[in-house]
Amino acid sequence: MGRATGAGAARGGGLRFEGRIAGFGSASGTRVVVGMWERSPFGHFADAMLEDAAGHRTLLAPTETVAAFVSETYSFDEVRVVPVSWRRIEGGLAVRAGEGGSALTARIAVGDVPPLGRLLRSVPRRLASDVRWLSMIDPIASRLVPGVHTAGSAGHGRLEYYGVTTMRRLAWAEASVDGQPLGAFAALDPPVRFGFGSAPPEPHLVDLTTVIRLPER
């Protein structure tokens, strides 16, 4: 597919995505990661990634273009193009991906800002999304939060950088897939295997800027 350009271009090269990611686990073993992107090369959109207890990884994306880009950056066993939306509700968020009885539905209660979230807020926003800074702090980030990385190699020769500006704990979540409840709210454990890093084991909602650099052609 062609390169996306315009509003989603990052300083110093690469494609810039600004928004939020929520990640949590369930008693059934299925882990859910939802991206809610306010600004991106593809405009405003949301997507969802699931990995079940057997390791089957599914991408739910709203358009063929988004599905192609995300599946070329991360690894999935199944890709579905379905409507994906989210909305604010009292105390949190509601997410829906798909239609009818074959949808992912989730309700997420957002909690407090942990000490690490307050520390992240103190980093100037321009620095927090600088790829040089994110490359430098990656070894520290992976020690502070197991499984988490701020820089690494993605699919098809791409490089990816995660600049988190704040984080909030998830107090609770419930979800169902294809009409079947996933079970009680749980840690995101084991780590998901979509890319080079995972969301934190403790469920969080994080505000971040993601920069993806495509290989030179």
- Tell me: the pLDDT tens digits for 158-182? 999 999 999 999 999 999 998 899 9
Peptide bond before 203: cis, by omega within 30 degrees of 0? no
Burial class of residue 75 (count of CB atoms within 10 Å of its CB; 0-12, 13-18, 19+): middle
Supply angle C-alpha 126, 127, 130, rounded to 5.
95
What residues are paired with 209 via a beta bridge? 18, 163
Confidence tier at 36 by pLDDT (50, 70, 90)? very high
Domain residue extents for the chain: 15-195+204-213
- Tell me: the pLDDT tens digits for 74-129? 999 999 999 999 999 999 999 999 987 779 999 999 999 999 889 888 888 889 88
Output the average pLDDT for the chain: 90
CA distance 212 to 217: 15
8 Å CB contact between 128 and 164? yes
pTM of the predicted structure, to 2 decimals: 0.90
Confidence tier at 4 by pLDDT (50, 70, 90)? very low
CATH number of 15-195+204-213: 2.40.400, 3.90.1200, 2.40.50, 3.40.50? 2.40.400
